[in-house]
Amino acid sequence: MNTLWNKVLELVAARMNPSSFDAWFSPTQQRSFQDGVLEVAVPDQYFVNWLKEHYMDVILEILRSFTQSDVRVIFTIDPNLTSRTSYEPEDLHAESTESRRAEIKESNAIQVIEEPIGLNPKYTFETYVVGGSNQLAHAASLAVAKQPSRAYNPLFIYGGVGLGKTHLMHAIGHAVKTQDTQGKVRIYYLSFERFMNELINAIRFDTMQQFREKYRNIDLLLIDDIQFIAGKERTQEEFFHTFNALYDTQKQIVISSDCPPKKIPTLEERLRSRFEWGLIVDIQPPDFETKVAILKKKAETEQIELPNDVAMFIATQIKSNIRALEGCLIKIAAHSTIVKEEITLDLAKRVLDDILDVKDPGSARSITVTLIQEVVANHYKIKVEDMRSASRLRNVAFPRQIAMFLARKLTDLSLPAIGQFFGGKDHTTIMYACQKVQAMTQEDVTLAKEVETLEQALHT
Ligand SMILES: Nc1ncnc2c1ncn2[C@@H]1O[C@H](COP(=O)(O)OP(=O)(O)OP(=O)(O)O)[C@@H](O)[C@H]1O
């Protein structure tokens, strides 16, 4: 079955030796993938621990390359899955086997939730390729890493999808950590979505005091994808206080977003002005040479033999998204391992030809929600910003619903994730739009043709 997890397994298989893969990954199965949560069943707790410890980073990285968003992985234990490992779990023998087994049995009922917390070891300044498109953002990040809270505070980095914002933030975190010989600096990297979830839980479980204390005690706060703050009043309020507390005590704040503060819809004025207190830098799409350099660096880190002509070919195929660029390289390398052929221009063309036909958000000619919004807005002669607005005027609302319908149909994103692209709309709004457009296209031939034309435009 072509499940998301099976696609992940294909790429994982290319990166490890077959017997380990057989032992640790073959007995796993996707149970569900819904609303950004991927549920994977494994035979026992030992698998959970091993996968978490050794492969979580890789799994999350591959998932991101497919979905272009953070996916949460939940492991559930299904003892009916046959383990092919011959392991002797050391920790089963270390303590009383009985008690440990009882613990494991009990944990069968528990779901272990793993999220991209902390810093990705691969995202450092050393692995970051600098070109004209990201020079300023890179220099500013270096300055902040050298002198936290004295260079620019806050540092606000913005740019399109997959252009390296997260990479730079992690690089700052790593550099600060390396300089911190006494291990005193408290660094916290998180997505804005996670901040919001923590806040919701704090409200729900009446632990606001602990929530506030935790955030007031951070020395370097790296907060990713702040654009999702749009329309979240209570979270804006709390983030405002967190920001002030950190700023007043001279703690460094680094923020990333897909647009500058003034373009974040419904952002409170007091927060907007604070985001503008420090330095705002953007990352532009990379030029051809930078794309080739990034591919070469990535190939070097992953120990992939990448001929020059292939690097140049990939760079011409991908417009700007660096994640998609890397995705192509990984797919070509995986293919070359599977078919036991060297990477050549011919092989690369065959692989890319295949994946260009796939409706896969991480792949080359990927259809993103932003692209859908642009194409639909252009067709109906409305502004792209209208896609994120709350306007109920029919000439705006209906094209917006068509864009929501196409986003659901042509991307792998969950309903809540799509909602975020439309100004933070609720998942029920997206579902309603999909059902409505679906029903209307069945009754109205002209509309059905119109939607089909839009779809074709997106595929070319
Ligand atoms: N200049 C660069 N040099 C090397 N690798 C890069 C560079 N820019 C981006 N990348 C790589 O591209 C991938 C996507 O980058 P990243 O996740 O940082 O993008 P992003 O801008 O945060 O995307 P999003 O908007 O989806 O959050 C990562 O694997 C990252 O390492």
- The answer to whether 428 is annotated as binding is no
Whether the predicted pLDDT of 102 surpasses 50: no
Question: Residue 165 sits in which domain range?
Answer: 125-282
Residue 210 in domain: yes
User: Quick one: average pLDDT of 288-303?
Assistant: 92
For ligand 1, atom 20, the nearest C-alpha belongs to 162
Letter string b/e over residues 46-62, b meaning 16 or more CB atoms within 10 A of that residue's CB: bbbebbeeebeebbbbb
Same domain, 165 and 311: no
Say yes or no: 253 and 344 in one domain: no
Separation of CA 296 and ligand 1 centre (Å): 15
- The H-or-E segment that residue 191 falls in is strand 187-191
Query: Which pLDDT belongs to residue 416?
Result: 82
- Each residue of 149-174: pLDDT tens digit? 988 999 999 999 899 999 999 999 99
Within 120-185, strands assigned E span 155-159
CATH of the domain at 44: 3.30.300.180
Residues 136, 236, single domain; the answer is yes
Is residue 94 situated within a structural domain? no
Confidence of residue 355 (pLDDT cuts 50, 70, 90): low
Question: Quick check: is 414 in a domain?
Answer: yes
Tell me if 105 is assigned to some domain. Answer: no
CATH number at residue 217: 3.40.50.300
Give the separation between CA 299 and CA 294, rounded to whole angstroms: 8
**Is residue 112 domain-resident?**
no
Average pLDDT over the chain, rounded to an integer: 84
Lowest-confidence pick of 114-128, 289-303, 383-397: 114-128
The answer on 181 and 225 residing in a single domain is: yes
Same domain for 297 and 231: no
**267 and 303 fall within a common domain:** no
ipTM of the complex: 0.98
Backbone φ/ψ region at 220: left (φ over 0), alpha (ψ -120 to 50), beta = beta
Residues 338 and 385 in one domain: no
User: Residue 68 pLDDT more than 50?
Assistant: yes
Provide the pLDDT confidence category of residue 143 given band limits of 50, 70 and 90: very high
Band (pLDDT 50/70/90 cuts) for residue 460 is low
CB of residue 368 inside a 6 A radius of ligand 1: no
User: What is the pLDDT confidence band of residue 360, given thresholds at 50, 70 and 90?
Assistant: very low
Taking the centre of ligand 1 as the mean of its atom positions, its distance from the CA of residue 352, in whole angstroms, is 21
114 part of a folded domain: no
416 plus 294 within the same structural domain: no
Q: Are residues 392 and 437 in the same domain?
A: yes
Query: Where is the domain boundary, 231, 264, 282?
Result: 282
pLDDT confidence of residue 232: 87
The alpha-carbon radius of gyration of the chain (Å, integer) is 23
Is residue 100 in a domain? no
Question: Which CATH number characterizes residue 432's domain?
Answer: 1.10.1750.10
pLDDT for res 69 = 74
**Into how many domains does the chain fold?**
4
176 shares its domain with 134: yes
- Evaluate whether residue 113 is within a structural domain: no
Q: Residue 46: pLDDT above 80? A: no
CA of 290 to the centre of ligand 1 (A): 13
pLDDT in tens, 118-131: 688 889 999 999 99
Which pLDDT score is estimated for 82?
66
Lowest average pLDDT, out of 48-57, 188-197, 357-366, 413-422, goes to 357-366
